[in-house]
Chain A
Amino acid sequence: MFIERETMSASTTQSWTVADLRLAGGRRRTDVRMRRLFIAAGLITLLVTGLIVYTLVKDAFSFFIDVPKHELWNIGWFPRRGFFDIKTLVVGSLMVTGVAMLIAVPLGLGVAVYLSEFARPRVRRVLKPIVEVLAGIPSVVLGYFAIAFINPNLITVLAPGANKAFNFAAAGVAVGILTIPIIASVAEDALRAVPLALREASYGLGARRVATTFRVVLPASISGVVAALILGISRAVGETMVVAIAAGAVGGGLFSTDPFQPGQTMTAAMAALGFGSDQVAGDGLAFQSLFFIGFLLFVLTFLLNLLGDRLVRRVREEY
């Protein structure tokens, strides 16, 4: 039939009909089915996200309605006793994140700059996967690493007054180690995205490698690098297992700004609330407070991710 049509169109000037160009029935059906499948996959993800947000918001809201407001600003976080001092958790999270960034920013950016600008291709091929393996270490392992190694060998050595068993600083260092590969990998992508032409322009003017890196490549990729930092912060804020294990406060904690003492973070407090039913049952509001912190955490990381995503998008447009 195909040949027939071709000879026909070649020999005559007769116009074709739509049937000549229509997709064959079977293939069209497959096309439609596949499209439905992909739409379904997308919708399910959306639905699950929606349900999570709904659950969080519902219980967070009812907690906020029921809780005596003065309990939200108290001496510490003791959900079983009805003390829901949010600032204890927020400050705890900030301390862990701060310590984590002290470790992860210089090391992560250092690795990124080295891999992108200094490493020979062969070294890079070996080193990059190794850095990425770091990201695959289960955080529970790093939690125990923090208690067994980081605290006795690093924190208590540098700060003799630090708590010998648990403290924010040890947890922060471990979270920092977890964050290095994220920062390194996203920042390296941003650095490598800088066109070769800009590096050549710099070398052509007599710049050395270090000058090219700091005066051309880093400024040109600054939004991507900042995005890497934000994604790293977001990861550190959300890290749970390490803090639950190594920061130390089990049921609750007094408000503290000392990174060398044990204490509670938002994530660890949630984990603690979830671990034992007896603890959660301690106060009617304790269980719901879990959702309230969860909601705060969700909003915080969501905003950070949004910001990071924005900046990454900007990088793509720049040159």
Chain B
Amino acid sequence: MEENHEEVVTQQVASHDDVPVFRTKDLSVFYGDFRAVRDVNVYIKAREITAFIGPSGCGKSTVLRCFDRMNDLIPTARVEGTVEYHGVNLYDREVDAVEVRRRVGMVFQKPNPFPKSIYDNLAFGPRLNGIKKKADLDVIVESSLKRAALWDEVKDRLKASAMGLSGGQQQRLCIARCIAVEPDVILMDEPCSALDPIATARIEDLMQEIKRDFTIIIVTHNMQQAARVSDQTAFFTTEVNPESDRRTGVLVEFDKTQKMFSNPSDSRTEAYVTGRFG
């Protein structure tokens, strides 16, 4: 008994420090018969930024979309292996995808504000969660916009359509909208690929600020961006399947960003980060 008790205690202590936010074990994703990505093993630590890099078609976005079960929306998509979220199997029968998405927010490649007012965009998530009082919503809208560094630009036109904002502002609005539901994790799927360098820099600064509160995973085509913003980096590439001539994504290397970009273990990573391939 005594021993058991101790074990539980150590486990709890361990879980506080070491159980990652996400851990995948031999994760493969299929679209119908086609295996889009195979055997991914990564762990995502809390309050860190993890970057997924790699050439087009390497499955990095597909893996990202497993973390909030966005792949569920594609009828043919199927997952093998496991994704653990705080130690819980995300694809367990009893896990509700909607509950997952309330904790794991997502920012998409193309800014996708609703064709509603700025205020209504921000209030969308909180309203879903049953917050109805205007005073409460006002507070959330303001604080979320402030945390997304957008408040000063839009505070005088909260009732104006979000479609009237610039691309960079729209993307920060989408980040603010995500923050407004107080998620645990924010997934970003190439959030800057539709933006100019100045807007990109603002988003990168913003990521550094909000990583104090959120765990962030970012998929990016831009290696410099990964090097600048992330703590850990996962490099994916594609393999041609000799039988079907189709390409399957595969995780090559996963390590601290500094090491990935200065002294990678795998020659393919080195070739990619030095720009000789991809």
Interface residues of A (CB under 8 A from B): 120-121, 195, 197-208, 211, 215-216, 219-220, 318-319
Interface positions, chain B 24-46, Cβ under 8 Å from A, are none
- Judged by a CB distance under 8 angstroms, whether B264 is at the interface is no
Q: Are B98 and A207 touching (Cβ within 8 A)? A: yes
A168 CB to nearest chain B CB (Å):
40
Q: Which residue of A lies closest to B96 (CB)?
A: A208
CA distance A199 to B128 in the complex (A): 14
Q: Which of B95-154 contact A (CB under 8 A)?
A: 98-99, 101-102, 105-106, 108, 110, 112-116, 124-125, 128-129
* Bound CA–CA A204/B99 (angstroms): 10
What residues of B have a CB within 8 angstroms of the CB of A211 in the complex? 128
**Chain A at the B interface: SS class:** helix
The verdict on A203 contacting B70 (CB below 8 Å), with A121-B75, A197-B108, A215-B124 known, is yes
Distance to closest chain A CB from B184 (angstroms): 12
Q: Which residues of B contact A (CB under 8 A)?
A: 68, 70, 73, 75, 98-99, 101-102, 105-106, 108, 110, 112-116, 124-125, 128-129, 163, 174, 177-178, 181
Pick the residue among A195, A198, A206, A216 that contacts B98 (CB under 8 A).
A206
Of A198, A201, A203, most B-chain CB atoms within 10 Å:
A201
Q: How far is the CA of A203 from the CA of B72 in the complex (A)?
A: 11
Q: Give every chain B residue within 8 A of A215 (Cβ-Cβ).
A: 124, 128
CA gap between A289 and B276 in the complex, in Å: 84
Minimum CB–CB distance from B76 to chain A (whole Å) comes to: 10
Q: Choose among B110, B128, B163 the residue that contacts A205 (Cβ–Cβ < 8 A).
A: B128
Pairwise interchain contact A204-B68, C-beta atoms closer than 8 A: yes
Chain A residue numbers with a CB within 8 Å of B181 are 205-206
Closest residue of chain A to B180 (Cβ to Cβ) is: A205
**Are the CB atoms of A220 and B114 closer together than 8 Å?**
yes
Q: Is the CB of B108 within 8 A of A201?
A: yes
Residue pair A208, B112 in contact (C-beta under 8 Å)? no
Q: Indicate if the CB atoms of A206 and B114 lie closer than 8 Å.
A: no
Q: Are B112 and A197 in contact (CB under 8 A)?
A: yes
B110 near A197: Cβ-Cβ < 8 Å = yes
Known: A120-B75, A200-B108, A201-B108. A206 touches B115 (CB 8 A): no
| Measured CA separation A219–B129 after assembly (Å) | 19
Q: Name the distance in Å between B72's Cβ and chain A's nearest Cβ.
A: 9
4 smallest beta-carbon distances between A and B, as pairs: A206-B102, A204-B106, A197-B112, A205-B125
Residue among B101, B129, B163 with max Cβ neighbours from chain A (10 Å): B101
Tell me which residues across on chain A come within 8 A of B73, comparing CB atoms.
199-200, 203
Give the distance in Å from the alpha carbon of A120 to the alpha carbon of B174 in the complex.
29
CB pair B174–A201 under 8 Å, yes or no, is yes
Given contacts A205-B125, A219-B115, 9 further A-B contacts (CB under 8 A): A120-B75, A198-B115, A200-B112, A201-B114, A203-B73, A205-B178, A206-B98, A207-B124, A220-B114
